[in-house]
Amino acid sequence: MSQAAIAQQVGIGASTVQSWLATGTFPERKPREQASHLDRYLPSLILRWEDGCHNIAGLFRELVEQGYTGSYESVRDTLVRLLPQGRKNEASATSKALPLPTSRQAAFLFLRRPEKLRVEEQETLVKLCHINPEVDLAYDLVQQFVQMLRTRAGERLDDWLDQVERSNLPELQSFAAGVQKDKDAVRAGLTWWINNGVVEGHVTKLKLIKRQGYGRAEFPLLRKRVLHAV
């Protein structure tokens, strides 16, 4: 057969057929040797996996703290390919490429307690924070503020405001500007145990009574019902 006929039948280019025939044998490709950012961390990664830590998002955060600069997907794919119990879930892990969340979903992830996030939510959060250093900084600042609110640590407010001012994050800076306008009240809210929960409860009760009597009676009956409820 001519080289053109061989190329047509095999489905490759005529120049490829010509070069292969010139070598006299099939030109085996040399495997590409490409170093990975993850190679130097593999021993510790495998040890952590064998110790029972199978949370890929948590392992990725540990690697970042050790200086790893690669992607989350590289860590996940390596664990799936090399480690025990990773290969078992290879189909689901590789096919389940987590899409980026909406702004509302991202806000939910940023505000929630990290220990209460599901594994999928932790992976999404790690992927978000790894997209850009500004996202990672925003998450850190949001968590600091939420922690102040939960622990009544209002004395840390000034330090938090200074960090936001240096962050170059317009969205958080806009929020911080509103806090600055009424900082004493905000600090009191982040410090004191007193709140307006009782007042809001009475307001809810009054609205319920009013709606129950809508269209059925006039003000005198509404007044008596309110006084009786109080």
What are 202-211's pLDDT values in tens digits?
999 999 998 9
* Domain positions in the chain: 1-29, 39-95, 103-191
pLDDT at residue 41 in the model:
84
pTM of the model as a whole: 0.52
Residue 56, token pair as written in the block:
């890929």
Q: What is the mean pLDDT of the chain?
A: 82
208-217 mean pLDDT: 85
- Alpha carbon distance 200, 186 (integer Å): 19
Closest to 65 (Cα-Cα) out of 114, 138, 136: 136
pLDDT beyond 80 at 94:
no
The top-scoring range by mean pLDDT among 20-29, 80-89, 133-142 is 133-142
Alpha-carbon Rg for the chain in angstroms: 31
Alpha-carbon distance of 153 to 228, in angstroms, equals: 41
Task: Give the span between the Cα atoms of 151 and 139, in whole angstroms.
Answer: 18
The alpha carbon of 195 is separated from its chain's Cα centroid by a whole number of angstroms, namely 31
Average pLDDT over residues 169-193: 92
Burial of 133 (0-12, 13-18, 19+ CB in 10 A): exposed
What average pLDDT score do residues 119-126 get? 85
The pLDDT of residue 172: 93
User: What is the per-residue pLDDT for 111?
Assistant: 93
- pLDDT digit string (tens) for 3-48? 888 888 888 888 888 888 887 776 666 555 455 678 888 888 888 8
Least confident of 25-29, 167-171, 174-178: 25-29
